[in-house]
Every structure is written in structure tokens, then in C-alpha cells.
Structure 1
Amino acid sequence: MPLPSSAADHIQDLGAFVSASPSSFHAAHEGGRRLAEAGFTRLDELEPWEGGPGSFYIIRDGALIAWVVPEGAGPATGFNILGAHTDSPSFKLKPKPTTGAHGWLQAGVEVYGGPLLNSWLDRELRLAGRLVMLDGTEHLTATGPLLRFPQLAIHLDRAVNEGLALDKQRHMNPVWGLGNPSDSDLLGVLAGSVAGASVDPAQIGGYDVVIADTQDPAVFGGKGEFFASGRLDNLSATHAGLAALAAHAGSRADGGPIAVLAAFDHEEIGSNSRSGACGPILEDVLVRISDGLGATVSQRRQALAASFCLSADAGHAVHPNYPERHDPANHPVLNGGPLLKINANQRYATDAFGAAFWARLCGEAGVPYQEFVSNNVVPCGSTIGPLTATRLGIRTVDVGVPLLSMHSARELCGVEDPYRLAVVTELFFGTAV
């Protein structure tokens, strides 16, 4: 399955992927569906895996790991890994979620990660995630437009434009209907939103459900150069990895590294989970792949030493209204190419070796790239890159698509940059370090 022939085609497919992926669980399953269409085989972690060449994937909760083992791979063959994540800042449904007062039905939610709270106001929103039944079966659920965080009218807060202060507990309780909470059941709405199955709300034993925007992704701008969407951080990189891995699987030559896409969950809250980058999921898969190729413990260590990870996560473009928040000498722009992200304190894992390898890849792919470094007085965020490098000892470089409005309900990127990231990633998957 080759990459799309143009950035315009790629961005439309990215929009379709985002629309199909309102939660990390949906993103993992939509990624798996696309890989299955491309000829990948889904494996069960509870079953033994046969070694040898082929294209495979697993889904663990909201994470997706996929890989391509080339003909001729041996026990010490290294891994070329594209690391990304499937979650985004949002709001997660609390226990006893049906709340309300004064004739309103509201949803009890907890802040997930670090969303720009004001960007979620006065938008039509949905609920999406998974329901787990008392018998252990799991169902994905996604409502249509259902909720809204209504902002207080300016007539009732004349000073609001001098500074909006939102209390996460008091003000971030979305409305979803009218009535008495004791006579209503939000879980019943979620049960009725499971596609293709009849679900009894009384049998729901647990749930992981988040709020997502309902507005369709859109291309806009004077020359159609902008793309607005929810969850670009970090479905832009997850989608680029999926497209690149499917293309690589369809055209791979004998030999070369084992190509891996690792789309983790829970990056926005620190990655400390069984499906996050601090957990064992990637190591579990790499060990089982090497074991299937007959590796000894020593050969497995050789394979990791020969491996490389592109930690692909969204980064910041220079904001025209706040240039003082950026480094004076490094001003990445939209459609200027994907970012090489650098931090002296290893908040990003890029080092000189990784920077040189990235420069080589971009040169061979004919793709421009830009360097990003933080202003010294603005704290730098982090990614799964340092976590992967620390946990597995794999050399890692941090890259990503430049954005404006990161962590907004609706983020902004350039039309060209996600496609360029996919082009470089496809080359990376087949390139020995």
C-alpha cells in the first residue's frame, strides 16, 4: 500500500483517521483496521508467536504496536522504531457521571493531561472510549454531539476579557440535557452508542471514556495551506507512522532492520501504564520478535544496540502574536518541514548522532526540516523519546510536526508537514543506522 501521491491526499486521509479516532482506544482499533487491510496479521499476546518474516500488529488497550520482519532477518537484527502516542489532553468521565442542578443534566468529568481549558468552551462535544462489561467483554462507544461547556455571558462577568479564570472543578462540568439527574443515566446513553451490539447499562462494570470534539477537520487559508483538527498532538505522527509502515511492508526488500510502529497511550499524563512508554509493552514485543528469530540474551542486546527510535510528537511553530515566547534564533514555521527537537537537559532525546542521522534521512528523502529549541525562560515539555532511550538503551531522536494551538480542542498545522513526516518515516523504516 504506497503512500498517498500528494500532501493534499495525505491530509484528507489524516482527517478521516482523526474523525474515526475520538479516543485512544478508537485510534488503536482504527490503526489495526487499516493495517489488516494492508495485509498485516493481528497477534494475541496470550498466544505463542511464530518467528520469521511477515507483517504483524497487536493492540493493548489504547496502544498499537506493529512491525515488519524482512526476509533474512536474524537474531541480532536491529529495530527501526517510530514512537508516537494515541491520547490527547481532554476530560475523562468520573464515577457516578450523571450529575446536574437547577434543571440541567451535567457530566462529572476529570481533567486529563493539560488541555487549554478555554478552547473547549461553547463547542459541541461527544463522549468516546470503551465500556467493559461484568463478564469481561469490551465495547467501543462513541456518541454524536452530546455535551457543551457553556461560557458565562459577558453581561454576567463584565471583566471576563481582562482575564478568564476557569476553576477545573466548578466551571468544567458540561451540560448534556435537561431534567433531574436521579431520573437520567449517562451510562445508558453510552450503552446505546455502541455500534452493532445491544448493551445493557446495568452490566457495565467499568469504563474509560473521554470527551472529544465533533467538528470535522478542515483545510483552509488563503492558499489552502492550513489544516485544523482535534488531536493532531499526536495523531499526526501516529497516522504518518501507519501510512509509512504499510507502504514499507508493500515494498520492502530483503535484509535491513525490523520496522516498528509503537503508538503508546497515556503520554499526556506521564506514560506510567501498561500501555504507556514507561511500561513494558514495547520491550515485550521486541523480546518476543527476537526470541522468534532464535536470539540469545546476548544477541538480543546486540539487536537493541543496533536499533534506532524516531520519537515523533508534535512541536511548536513560532506564534506571530507571541514571538517573545520562542527562542530568538530558531523560529519554525508551518509548512517549513518537520521539526528536529533539541533540549540540553534531555527533555528531548536528540543528540549529535541522532541529529546527523535525521539530517541524512531528510536529505535523501528530499524533505526540508527545521530545528526547534525552547526559549531559556520557558520550560520545555517532553516526549516518549527520553523514556524509550532510558528504558531500552536505544538511540533516539525527537522529531514532529509543528503546530499552533497545541493542546487546544482544535489544533493547527500546515498541510505539507504531516506528509513530509510520513515520507521520511518510510525511508527510515528501511535504512540501517
Structure 2
Amino acid sequence: MDYDLIIIGAGPAGYVAAIRAGQLGLKTAIVETQYIGGMCLNWGCIPSKTILESAKVFEKTKTLSEFGVDGIDLENISFNWDTVKKRSKKITKKLTAGINFLLKKNGVEVINGTAKIGADKSVYVDGKKITAENIIVATGSKPKKLDNKLEDAPTVEMEKLFDLKEIPENVVVTGNHVSAVEMAQFFKMIGKKVTLVANSDYFLHGIDQFLIDYITKNIASNGIDLITDSYPSKYSEGKVTVGDKKIKCDLLLNCNSRKAVIPESETPLELTDRGFIKTDNDFKTNIPGVYVIGDASGKSFVAHMASAQGIHIVNKIKGVKSNFDYSSYPINMYTSPEVSQIGLTEAMIKEEGYEYKINEFPLSANAKALIEGSSEGFIRMLSDKKYGQVLGVQIVAKHATDMIAEAGAYLRMEGSIYDVANTIHAHPTVSEIYFEVGFDAFDKAIHK
């Protein structure tokens, strides 16, 4: 065999698996058709959060006088899309260089080209045959196309958004997932007229209904038009038809569901009913020695899960003890304020038959949140009524996506409300809301 492991795809699933394999001494090659970092680093996670941060800073300038910053002419401030794109590319370039360095450091061979899975544990890269004991497919996903009747609409996916020289005034965003909400808010924060079109049956699927209700209200309060009872069906004369409404549309951003990128294979890879590559609980496919991780498996569509899957599979291949837990991974939304959840939702808890309770604590009673001028939000903790085990945590806060990690530790260690309450948090910090909600769960919150 030429290698111990060949990985197809260098996104967060593939490149993390490759680095881990190198660390464990496996002779590894990674094949990539486009760019190291995949969708996440080049068009998705990193660029989208970069432009969102720029929009948040732009929005913040409107309240600087409250902090004693005078002399800013709000009539003349503007959002420089070209500068924002350059900053995004600079960050991506720096992160890509770091990944390339780590791949090289850990002895991973990077091969540029298109991979085809052959017989007898082989892979053909643009016709050249290489072999390995194990093959990991980490080819990711791509957006589903919109209805053919919308083919004349000014449609872009995230991959093409950064090619725009300017952002027009009337934007329609389609999609049911967090990325659609994030981008709708981005466009609104920089002063555009925004309509978000989603399907009520699938809108923010997997997120607790309490959070969905909050997010829906937040969308409305931000001045974004939300339509959930229909979907874009036609584009004509500068307007997109949604149900019985005709909406002016200069840009249609497609944040719809995604479909697997499936590599060519001599032995066809078995697919699920949804068109993703079918695997068992150990990520094995119908082809011996071939695994699938990340978006292509359809089991999750977030980079941190893809990376965790990559580490898990490489550990298993090498014989390192490893277990994988789907129940405690964070779902993040990088809006303003941010929204994050981890663990079981209330609906899941009811379905599993727990006797449970819910406790909340508002950011409006937190000193650091008031200092920062970011007191909108709360922490919401769901716990087992009898034993006090933490079952789920939801946070709305300026830095909720960072703060949720603490809840992940409690869940991973099967921690209780007493562990949460008795963990000393520095003062003043927003994270003090943890001990407050912990105390609230078994007695009374101190500042409530």
C-alpha cells in the first residue's frame, strides 16, 4: 500500500482527520479539488462570520455616543463592502497558511486533483492510482438549486456572494437554517431591505421551540420581513413571487438545504433516502475500508461536528480508545445577539419521558452585560427534576457561541445543577449567569 490512509476532501472534516492521522504516525495523503479548508474556511463559516462582525461594528457606531464617544457624523458613515471583503480574504489566507503548515509538519501529503474510488482500496487522482488501507470520504455538500422558474433571478450562493462588487438594496434570503437568519440580519444591519423566506415546517429544525419563538420575534423587531407559509416560485420584472406576494428583489441569496458531494466510485456508494452517503454508527460505508464524515454523510452540517468525526475515525483506525457522542454538540447562530444551544431540547426531554424543570436568568441582571451595553438575552437551563442532571442549556447573549462551551463540559461529565451553582465564576463576567441559573435550579438565584 502507498499510504495507511487517504482522505478525499480537505474541509474541516478532512484536514483535521489528516492532521490527527499524522500525529498518530499514519502515512497519510489528502486529496482536494479546490482549496484547503473547504466551504467553511473559504466561503462559509469564516467569511460569513467575518462580514457579520463588520456589520455588528457598523451597527455599534450608532450607539457610541452612549459610551462617551462624540464627534461621529452618523449621516456620513458607510459600510465599505470592498474593505470588508479584503479583511475576510486576509483572515482566510492566514488560516489557510496555518493549516498547510500543520499538514506539512505532520507529514501529510497534499494532492491537488479529483479523486475516484477504485477497487481493492485504491483511489485514482486525475487518473493516477494510489492505494491505502483505509479511505475517508470528506467531500462535503453543496446547495440545492432553486426552482427552474427562478433561473432568471439574480441568485447567488455563499460561494459567489464575495464576487459581488456591491450589495444592492432589495435582498431576499431563502433558507430554513441558521445561516439564512444570519445572512438576513447581516444585510439588514448594513441598511438593506430584507425579506427572509422559509418553510414553517422546517424553519430552524432541531432548535428548541422557545428559542425559535425568540428568534422569530427578533427577526421582526429588526425590521426583516419573514415569510414562512410559502416559497419563491417565480421571478419576473425585478420581483420574486412568494405565495400571493410580489417582492422587489435585486439579490436572491440561496441558503437552502444542501446535498452531498458524492465522489465517483467503481463500486457505487450506497445512499440514504435523502441522497447522502449511507454509513453505520462507525461511519463505515458499504465499501470495506471506506468511511464517510462531515456533510456528505448527512448526519450533521456543522464544522465542529465534522472535525470531531474526523478525529474519532482516525483514532479508531489507529486503535486509540474513542467514543462519539451526538447528544452534546453546540448549535450556534452568530446573530446580534448570538444564540446557542447544547444538549436536549424541551421537546426531546418530553419524548424521552424525563421529569424536568426549566430555570432562566436574564442578562439584564448581569453587571458585565450592562457594562458592555449588551444586556439583551438570557440563559435557560433544562435539568432532571429528581437527580438534578443538566440535560440542556440555551443562551442568548453577545458572546453566547463562546459561552456555550461551559455547558458542554457539564453535559459531557454528566454534571448537575449543583456543579453549575458551585463553580466559582469571576466577577464581573457574563458567565456568572451560569452560577445564577444553577442556584435558581435548586434554591434561589442570588441576583434575581
* Superposed pair shares fold, TM > 0.5: no
Larger Rg: 2
Give the alignment's TM-score, normalised by structure 2. 0.25
Answer 1 or 2: higher relative contact order, Cα 8 Å, separation at least 6.
Answer: 1
